[in-house]
Amino acid sequence: MTNPSPPAPDNPQPVADLTGAPLPTEGTLRRRRSVPFQLTRFAVFNARIMRMVLKGSH
């Protein structure tokens, strides 16, 4: 998925240096697309929203 798009060299821009940012592993990218795994994350995220709603001034 990595596809850096370098700026045109004749018009350099002050782009932030991202070389220190971690790249996801193949396993992480696979989990992000895995339907069974993501169904679980979907349920967990919704539960988290509901927890927040019940806990805060909502």
Partner 1 sequence: MTDIVVLGAGISGHTAALHLARLLGRRSTRGQHTVTVVSPNSHWNWIPSNIWVGVGKMGRDDVVFPLEPVYERKGIDFRQAKAVALRPEGDGEDHRGAVDIVYTGQGRVGQEERLRYDYLVNATGPRLRFEATEGLGPDGHSLSVCTADHAVEAARELDEVVQRLRAGQEQTLVVGMGHGTCTCEGAAFEYVFNVDHVLRDAGVRDLATLYYLTNEASLGDFGVDGMTFEDQGFQTSSELWTASLFRERGVLPILGAHVERVEEGVVHYETLDGSHHSLDFDFAMLLPPFGGVGLAAYDGQGGDITDELFAPSGFMRVDADYTAKPYEDWRAADWPETYQVPVWDNIFAVGIAFAPPHPISRPRKSSSGTVIAPSPPRTGMPSGVMGKTVALTIVDRIRSGPSAQPHRASMANMGAACVASAGAGLRTGSAAAMTMMPVVPDYSRYPTGRSLRDTRGEIGLGGHWVKLMLHYLFIHKAKGRPGWFLIPE
User: Which residues of this protein are in contact with partner 1, per CB under 8 A?
Assistant: 1-8, 11, 13-16, 18-24, 31-35, 37-42, 45-46, 48-53, 55-58
Alpha carbon distance 30, 35 (integer Å): 10
Task: Give the C-alpha separation, 40 to 30, whole Å.
Answer: 14
CA 10 to chain centre: 32
CB of 10 to partner 1, least distance (A): 10
CB of 50 to partner 1, least distance (A): 7
For the bound state, the minimum distance from the C-beta of residue 46 to partner 1, rounded and expressed in Å, comes to 7
